[in-house]
């Protein structure tokens, strides 16, 4: 962790940070102010968010270029790490070929966004999210406040603006994700060096590059320090082992840090972050902003970003009918914004609408994962969806893209399977609300963020329920091979409610018996490729 002295410095700088941020990016006038009380009192999660249920995320940045997975731009600077070794073999030593060179290798030359948006909508998505800036600090939009953006570097296109027009044309809600608040500490490895070997002691590229060195280069007119953020925690010379270098970084910049960087440059960094965030919101008017932060970044400055967004929505629409998400919110904070549970599960029905975000693989494209057919299957995605929706949540799913703008054949097959499932079962998902209980079954998902790897396989006894259109929707998370017995839908479980009709989605009426103890029914055999059967349940006193 960063030392107590630095924490105290960051706290002391808070008034200056807030003042500088307001000077660069003055907030929109409106009913919301930058405090949790104002947000909690004036905000209500809009019904559109509660209705859409399923979104697809283009988590697409230059880190897809190496096709080596997540956090490439940080880990390629750690000697001994597989990412470093890959970079050395493929691109050369990071003192000469740093990540800014990878940024420019992202060309998106085969990107067909119209085709992809069509696939995503057909696959069930009702909202679409474009990554606007990851920790690598490259804005993927026409940024007024940051020259390192995709109109000048790499694709030479407005990625966010292109997605926005196409998503809205297809009737999808349009959203953006902003991960840039962490770039200042995430990139500090780029100021390090090898501790041994033929390049020992030679600083990596971020350490020495300055704007005046770009004359005649592809980055002419750009300042590399504006991309890498400048040195905050530079390893001292003389470290002689990978262990010592890793310990240095782990103790300083290797944490998930939500406060501002130290010193006067930290003031400028935070002011620029707010200006970029407000510019993003003002240019594209997104329906949702995903912040990759625990609670909010930079104290009151993060609150200013939320208040500005809500006030902007009031100016646009007359009401704050937008969503902004962050992670690990307190109960009080959840009244003022939506909590995102990254790669996680909820234990029960949550009182407030929420979201989980996950990916069929790694967040950035990983060729080795594709080659070993390691993605989550469509069945796994649907099981997750049914669990989340039954507990008052939404599922945002990333489909990793190659740097050239395409997706691979396994991803296409997963989207096709999702499309077939939603065509039959979508009415049991969209626009629904939780029932009295989320369902039942022996498999208990591990609650909390980053818990998905610990989940045990669902069984045919695991089921989830949603309510809508005057009845119930029942999803069996595995296709049963024998009689299904459901205690919560017996007359005792429904509080005397009487089931009058059970219909298999895409099929016909299903014989059933409802007694005091349970609802009992037997499904036909699964059709070829069938998974997670959905049933419509109608009757009296079930709502």
Q: What is the pLDDT of residues 249-263, one digit of tens each?
A: 999 999 999 989 999
Q: What is the pLDDT of residue 543?
A: 83
Q: Is the pLDDT of residue 8 over 60?
A: no
Q: How far apart are CA 364 and CA 375, in angstroms?
A: 13
pLDDT digits (tens, 9 = 90+) for 465-500: 999 999 999 999 999 999 999 999 999 999 999 999
Alpha-carbon Rg for the chain, nearest whole angstrom, is: 25
Mean per-residue pLDDT for 382-409?
98
Q: How far apart are CA 143 and CA 135, in angstroms?
A: 16
pLDDT digits (tens, 9 = 90+) for 143-152: 999 999 999 9
Q: Is the pLDDT of residue 525 over 60?
A: yes
User: The domain that contains 444 carries what CATH number?
Assistant: 2.60.40.1180
251 falls within a domain: yes
Q: What is the pLDDT of residue 1?
A: 26
Residue finishing a domain among 323, 340, 357: 340
286 falls within a domain: yes
Question: Do 182 and 76 have their domain in common?
Answer: yes
φ, ψ of residue 148 in degrees (nearest 5) = -80, 85
Question: Do 310 and 439 have their domain in common?
Answer: no
Q: How far apart are CA 369 and CA 67, in angstroms?
A: 10
Q: What is the pLDDT of residue 13?
A: 55
Q: What percent of the chain has pLDDT over 90?
A: 94
Question: Do 314 and 456 have their domain in common?
Answer: no
Question: Do 326 and 446 have their domain in common?
Answer: no
46 falls within a domain: yes
Question: Do 131 and 251 have their domain in common?
Answer: yes
Q: What is the pLDDT of residue 198?
A: 97
Question: Do 325 and 440 have their domain in common?
Answer: no
SS3 of 342-397: CCCECCCCCCCCEEEEEECCCCCCEHHHHHCCCCCCHHHHHHHHHHHHHCCEEEEE
Q: What is the pLDDT of residue 4?
A: 32
357 falls within a domain: no
Domain count, the chain: 2
pLDDT band at 14 (very low <50, low <70, confident <90, very high): low
Q: What is the pLDDT of residue 23?
A: 64
371 falls within a domain: no
- Write the CA distances from 203 to 60, 61, 145, 200, 251, integer angstroms: 29, 25, 29, 8, 20
Which pTM value belongs to this model?
0.96
Mean pLDDT check: name the lowest of 26-35, 138-147, 439-448. Answer: 26-35
Mean pLDDT of the chain: 95
Q: Which domain holds residue 60?
A: 4-340
Mean per-residue pLDDT for 417-434?
98
364 falls within a domain: no
230 falls within a domain: yes
pLDDT digits (tens, 9 = 90+) for 223-244: 999 999 999 999 999 999 999 9
Question: Do 240 and 128 have their domain in common?
Answer: yes
SS3 of 299-327: CHHHHHHHHHHHHHHHHHHCCCCCEEEEE
Question: Do 163 and 279 have their domain in common?
Answer: yes
pLDDT digits (tens, 9 = 90+) for 194-226: 999 999 999 999 999 999 999 999 999 999 999
User: The domain that contains 105 carries what CATH number?
Assistant: 3.20.20.80
Question: Do 190 and 301 have their domain in common?
Answer: yes
Question: Do 332 and 458 have their domain in common?
Answer: no
395 falls within a domain: no
Is residue 415 within 8 Å of 314, Cβ to Cβ? no
Residue finishing a domain among 289, 316, 340: 340
pLDDT digits (tens, 9 = 90+) for 27-56: 678 999 999 999 999 999 999 999 999 999
Residue finishing a domain among 306, 321, 340: 340
Question: Do 329 and 445 have their domain in common?
Answer: no
Mean per-residue pLDDT for 439-459?
96
Q: Is the pLDDT of residue 181 over 80?
A: yes
């Amino acid at each position: 962790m960063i030392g107590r002295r630095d924490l105290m410095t960051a706290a002391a700088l808070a008034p200056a940070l807030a003042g500088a941020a307001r000077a660069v990016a003055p907030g929109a006038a409106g009913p919301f102010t930058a405090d949790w009380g104002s947000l909690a009192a004036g905000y209500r999660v809009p019904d559109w968010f509660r209705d859409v249920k399923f979104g697809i995320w283009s988590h697409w940045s230059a880190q897809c270029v190496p096709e080596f997975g997540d956090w490439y731009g940080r880990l390629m600077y750690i000697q001994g790490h597989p990412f470093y070794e890959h970079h050395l073999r493929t691109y050369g030593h990071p003192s000469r070929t740093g990540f800014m060179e990878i940024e420019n290798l992202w060309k998106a030359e085969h990107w067909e966004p119209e085709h992809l948006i069509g696939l995503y909508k057909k696959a069930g998505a009702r909202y679409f999210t474009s990554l606007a800036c990851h920790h690598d600090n490259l804005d993927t939009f026409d940024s007024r406040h940051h020259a390192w953006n995709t109109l000048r570097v790499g694709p030479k296109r407005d990625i966010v603006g292109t997605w926005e027009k196409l998503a809205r044309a297809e009737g999808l809600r349009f959203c953006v994700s902003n991960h840039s608040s962490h770039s200042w500490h995430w990139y500090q490895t780029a100021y390090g060096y090898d501790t041994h070997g033929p390049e020992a002691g030679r600083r990596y590229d971020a350490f020495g590059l300055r704007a005046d060195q770009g004359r005649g280069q592809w980055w002419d007119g750009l300042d590399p320090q504006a991309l890498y953020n400048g040195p905050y925690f530079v390893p001292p010379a003389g470290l002689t082992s990978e262990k010592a270098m890793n310990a240095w970084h782990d103790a300083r910049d290797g944490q998930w840090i939500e406060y501002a960087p130290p010193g006067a440059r930290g003031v400028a960094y935070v002011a620029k972050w707010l200006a970029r965030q407000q510019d993003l919101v003002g240019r594209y008017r997104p329906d949702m902003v995903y912040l990759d932060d625990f609670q909010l970044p930079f104290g009151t400055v993060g609150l200013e970003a939320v208040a500005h967004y809500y006030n902007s929505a009031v100016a646009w629409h007359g009401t704050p009918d937008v969503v902004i998400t962050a992670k690990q919110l307190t109960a009080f904070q959840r009244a003022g914004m939506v909590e995102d549970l990254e790669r996680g599960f909820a234990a029960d029905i949550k009182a407030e609408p929420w979201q989980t975000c996950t990916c069929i693989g790694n967040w950035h494209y990983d060729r080795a994962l594709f080659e070993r057919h390691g993605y989550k299957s469509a069945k796994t995605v649907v099981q997750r969806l049914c669990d989340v929706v039954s507990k008052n949540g939404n599922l945002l799913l990333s489909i990793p893209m190659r740097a050239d703008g395409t997706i691979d054949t396994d991803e296409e097959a997963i989207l096709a399977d999702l499309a077939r499932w939603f065509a039959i079962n979508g009415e049991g998902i969209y626009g629904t609300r939780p029932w009295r209980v989320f369902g039942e079954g022996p498999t208990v998902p591990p609650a909390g963020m980053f818990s998905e790897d610990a989940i045990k396989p669902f069984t045919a006894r695991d089921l989830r329920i949603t309510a809508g259109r005057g009845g119930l929707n029942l999803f069996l998370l595995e296709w049963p091979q024998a009689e299904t017995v459901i205690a919560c839908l017996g007359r005792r479980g429904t509080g005397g409610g009487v089931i009058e009709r059970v219909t298999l989605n895409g099929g016909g009426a299903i014989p059933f018996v409802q007694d005091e103890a349970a609802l009992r029914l037997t499904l036909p055999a699964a059709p070829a490729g069938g998974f997670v059967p959905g049933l419509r349940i109608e009757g009296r006193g079930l709502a």
